[in-house]
Amino acid sequence: MPRSDLPFGSEFSPEQIELPALLQLAHEHNTNWEAFEIAVQNLYFSDHSTSESNKRKLANNTKLALRAYGIIGSTDSSLTDFGMVLYASRGNESFLYEEFTRHILKNCQGVNFVQCILDMQAAGENITLNTLRRGLKDRGIEVPRGSRNMSTLRLWLQKGGVFVSEYRVNQSRFRRILGMGANEIEELAALRLEQRDYLKTIANMDGGGPHHSNDIEKLATATYGTPFNEKGLARDVLHPLRDAGYITLKRGTKGKGRGAKPFLVTATKKLKSEIITPILEQLEQLTRAELRPLLRKHLGEIRKEMKSSNRHIRGLALEALAFKLMRLVDLSYVATRLRGASTGGAEVDLIFEGARLVFSRWQIQCKNTKRVSLDDVAKEVGLSHSLKSNVIVMVSTGTIGPGARNYADKIMSDTNLCIIALDGKDLDEIEAHPSAIVDVFDREARHAMDLKRIDIEGSP
């Protein structure tokens, strides 16, 4: 199937289906996707002139579109956390469609879709499905020829009030739903790659600063592979971002024999409202409501809550710790496999993914215990086969036992798995300097590389 950066949209437009009714069917049939498909077929595709196989195919398309828009799960018809938000508001259609529109804008390339249309209109271009597809491709967004993905997405945005008619944008509605307007988005789009990645890195770090300018640069390079001109950082990145109102700079003082210290960089209200808050909101949509307040706290505050006498609070804090660590390197959250409350707040398992250069799946095991044992690592290695993970991250607030490290070394020597181990001392370093996670991951990567070294000359 050709790649599409817009969600699959066949048999899912508001002209074909009613979203509240689909939400009700998904809730009723939960994990039974076959019963869900039959219910959708009976409701929308029961035309006697259509063959039974085609009816089922149409219903299946609707199910696939619901998955593509993040409303039902990837393996069955159960509602996702976002789907449950929509289901709970199905009786208030105004709120329902506003929430769905906000989701499309933020998580389904909706902002880029609208901005592309505004840019084409400003340039006096005639907008058709063909010219719009080419315009999106010029912006790095692929849409297959003949697909309904563009039309379906536009119709849902029109249902939410972003489009008044076919390609006429209601910019006041767009601004109100998104929290920022086309001018601000255009300003962000005009930034150079290193400037955008520098801002995203600040957004991924706790609270927006102050952070040392070279720490941000270091983390941005490790996370996004962005090359920075170290001598020209102030000229090329810091001063333009300051002048645009995204950051403030405080000049360092000279150290003994070391020249000027790096700038202290702090996010402004503009950066927090236009980048940090939207990133947090996207992350929060994927998580349980009780976890969301923790995601806005500093790593130090989360670690304090991990010492709470309340085991439920400890479990939530441990889960938030995993989010914080993986957010630093900009991985995408997929699922939580084990709630902290079920283990007395002692452990939590999460899955993250990345798609920079190559696809990777990261399996995170966080333990709020004195020591990680061999058995703890063995359990994760066993799970990695069914999860198809590339990387296992073992995080301990205490220590990683010698038995656990030796077993991890053996597994890395014999398989393609990479096992990263972080202990309490590493967490102290990362809490003090978020960019220290680069050093920790680099240390672990080099260790894995040594274990996996192959004799090229002796190979057949």
Query: What is the C-alpha R_g of the chain?
Result: 24
User: What's the confidence (pLDDT) of residue 86?
Assistant: 94
Q: What distance lies between CA 74 and its chain's CA centroid?
A: 16
Give 258's pLDDT tier (boundaries 50, 70, 90).
very low
Q: Is the pLDDT of residue 179 over 80?
A: no
CA 176 to chain centre: 23
Instruction: Count other Cβ atoms within 10 Å, centred on residue 427.
Output: 23
Q: Is the pLDDT of residue 419 over 90?
A: yes
Instruction: Check residue 299 and give its pLDDT.
Output: 85
Q: What would the mean pLDDT of 71-99 be, rounded to a whole number?
A: 90
Nearest CA to 435 out of 212, 207, 138 is that of: 212
**Higher-scoring residue by pLDDT: 426, 349:** 426
Contact criterion met (CB below 8 Å) for 343 and 316: no
Task: Report phi then psi at 177, rounded to 5.
Answer: -70, -40
* pLDDT score recorded for residue 279: 62
The mean of the pLDDT values for the chain is 85
- Whether 97 and 159 have beta carbons less than 8 Å apart is answered as yes
pLDDT at 254: 53
- pLDDT for 324: 85
pLDDT tens digits along 197-248: 898 888 888 667 789 999 999 998 988 888 898 888 999 999 999 998 889 9
Q: How many beta carbons lie within 10 A of that of residue 448, not counting itself?
A: 19
35, with CB counted inside 10 A (0-12, 13-18, 19+), is middle
Q: Determine which helix (DSSP H) or strand (DSSP E) holds 347, and give its type and residue range.
A: strand 347-354
Point out the least confidently predicted range of 68-82, 199-213, 401-415: 199-213
Residue 338 phi, psi (nearest 5): -140, 120
The phi and psi torsions of 395 (rounded to 5 degrees) equal -115, 125
Q: What percent of the chain has pLDDT over 70?
A: 87
| Structural contact between residues 16 and 152, judged by C-beta atoms closer than 8 angstroms | no
pLDDT value of position 223: 85
Query: What pLDDT is recorded for position 255?
Result: 45
Flag whether pLDDT at 50 surpasses 80. Answer: no
| Confidence check: pLDDT of 158 > 70 | yes
Residue 157 has pLDDT above 80, yes or no: yes
Q: What is the pLDDT of residue 271?
A: 82
User: How far out from the chain centre does Cα 350 lie?
Assistant: 13
Structure tokens at 51: 């063959």
Angle between helices 182-189 and 171-178 (to 10 degrees): 70
Predicted pLDDT of residue 239: 94
- Sign of torsion, CA 213 219 223 227? positive
CA distance 175 to 171: 6
Q: Alpha-carbon distance 203 to 185, whole Å?
A: 16
Least Cα distance to 104 among 160, 26, 184 occurs for 160
* 298 neighbors 427 (Cβ within 8 angstroms): no
Helices then strands (H, E): number in the chain?
23, 14
Q: What is the pLDDT of residues 302-350, one digit of tens each?
A: 889 888 888 888 888 888 888 888 888 888 777 776 544 445 555 668 8
pLDDT (0 to 100) of residue 281: 61
Confidence label for 256 from pLDDT (cuts 50, 70 and 90): very low
Whether 140 shows a pLDDT value over 80: the answer reads no
Task: Give the orientation angle of helix 93-107 with respect to helix 19-29, to 10 degrees.
Answer: 80
What does the DSSP assignment read for 352-370? EEE-SSS-EEEEEEEE-SS
What is the reported pLDDT for 285? 57
State residue 209's pLDDT score: 75
Query: Which helix (DSSP H) or strand (DSSP E) does residue 37 occupy?
Result: helix 33-44
Mean pLDDT of 396-401: 93
**110/104 Cα distance (integer angstroms):** 5
Q: pTM of the full predicted structure? A: 0.58
